[in-house]
Amino acid sequence: MIDRLRDSGVEDEIVLQAMNAVPRHFFVEEALASRAYDDLSLPIGSAQTISRPLTVARSCELARNQTSLKRVLEIGTGCGYQAAVLSRIAKEVYSIERIGSLLGSARVRLRSLNCHNVRVKHADGSSGLESLYPLDAIIVAAGAVDLPEHLIDLLSENGRLIIPLGRDKQFLTEVIKLKVGHELVTHEEVSFVPFLSGVVVK
């Protein structure tokens, strides 16, 4: 998997080491374990998926931007895989998930892998995150039609929001917080479930 990521253009060795250290098969159902290291998104229940390895690596690489990350927010914990990768490249990781059943199983997996610097919470990404300011990076694992300005406000200067953005097609988008305003950089096409508000208990 790591060689394939390199061949696909991922250059950040810190991210590649983190991807290599996290057992992806641990985050999917046993029946899908043989496909865990293929460059595929796979179902994890509740109509959600674990993102393909290349998308996780690219998102982390863009978020890190060859710098040391102190505080990072992930919106959309899912099965916990990306949070586990982030735990190896950032000092503090905050991850929120709106679907309670997914959050519960992700918390167990992260604890089993000793990801003690990850804090998970049952919430969504629409509000109530002000206490996390300032963040070095935010990765959103859900597709948005419009740019969520409230998330940019949580970033420190030069911090990065990595989000799938678009209406008919989604593109992995890097939003760089500037001293005044922000800059958008559009990267490759991706496919994510929609960014939704509200929480689901089960």
Task: Kindly name the residue from 41, 51, 87, 95 that is annotated as catalytic.
Answer: 51
Q: Among residues 50, 164, 146, which one has the least CA distance to residue 97?
A: 50
* Residue matched to tokens 């895989």: 81
Annotated catalytic residue 8: no
CA distance 171 to 179: 25
Sign (positive/negative) of CA torsion 116, 111, 60, 139?
A: negative
Cα atoms in the Cβ-side hemisphere of radius 13 Å centred on 188: 12
State the greatest distance between any 2 C-alpha atoms of the chain, in Å, as a whole number. Answer: 50
- Residues involved in catalysis: 51
